[in-house]
Amino acid sequence: MGTVTAPWKQLLLNALQSNSHLRHSSYLQFATIGSNGRPANRTVVFRGFADTSNKIQINTDCRSHKIEDLKQCPFAEICWYFTDSWEQFRINGKVDVIDGSNPDPMKLQQREKAWFASSPKSRLQYLGPTPGLPSLGDQSSEVPTSLDPSAGPVSAYCLLLLDPDQVDYVNLKSNERLAFSRKNINEESCWSSDRVNP
């Protein structure tokens, strides 16, 4: 399928650039629907775009609740607010979960590339106890304090790729709101945008 650079992507890249001096500008909220039908929201870190695509990369632990949520319903929405430029992006789409058992060698290569793009300290978190389970005393002694920097992804590491199909952009400084939506026509992605009331 052909990939056309989405018209909202440059707005997002500009917002990331103008807010880059703020450490929290790379944090966004990631919402899924749980098996109980209720929304679940958490903060994750933006890890860039996958290659030259519009797909947003997020690292996570295969043992986390969001993986079960995505197996039930593969759609998610992220919400990003940039405090200096007063811009909000709500990005909705389907999420591809790429763990070590993925049969596609290209996706496994993407997973490995994302793993090595993460800091060694970030990689260590995947060696800890299962997220969300009750803590059994002092588990900090069970977590290794170092990892071979040349070692590939551990089994708990998972790459999420959010493939956007709707983007709601609001700029509170200019009082502007744009709604972007994607349609696939003859294997090509086509984006449309509408100016809507803020």
Would residue 27 count as lying in a domain? yes
User: pLDDT by residue (tens digit) across 126-162?
Assistant: 988 888 888 776 655 566 667 788 889 999 999 999 9
Structure-block tokens of residue 33: 């629907």
> What total of structural domains would you count in the chain?
1
64 close to 132: Cβ distance less than 8 angstroms:
yes
pTM over 0.85, yes/no: yes
pLDDT at residue 139 in the model: 57
pLDDT of the residue at 1: 45
Cα 36 to Cα 60, 65, 77, 130, 156: the distances in Å are 21, 12, 18, 21, 24
DSSP state of 54: S
Question: Does 109 reside within a domain?
Answer: yes
* Residues spanned by the domain of 120: 7-128+152-196
User: Is the Cβ–Cβ distance between 30 and 164 less than 8 Å?
Assistant: no
- Residue 78 within any structural domain of the chain: yes
Residue 183 lies in a domain: yes
Report yes or no on 180 lying in a domain. yes
Residue 83 Cα to chain centre, angstroms:
19
Q: Is the dihedral of CA 53, 94, 169, 21 positive or negative?
A: negative
Q: What pLDDT, on the 0 to 100 scale, is given for residue 157?
A: 97
Beta strands 56-61 and 39-45 are unpaired
pLDDT digits (tens, 9 = 90+) for 11-46: 999 999 999 999 999 999 999 999 899 999 999 999
Task: Kindly report the CATH number assigned to the domain that includes residue 181.
Answer: 2.30.110.10
pLDDT for 141 equals 57
The CA distance from 1 to 187, in Å, is 5
Q: Are 81 and 22 in contact (CB under 8 A)?
A: no
Is there a domain that residue 36 lies in? yes
**Beta strand residue intervals within the chain, DSSP E:** 27-33, 39-45, 56-61, 75-82, 87-98, 157-171, 176-185, 188-196
78-121: pLDDT as tens digits = 999 999 999 999 999 999 999 999 999 999 999 999 999 999 88
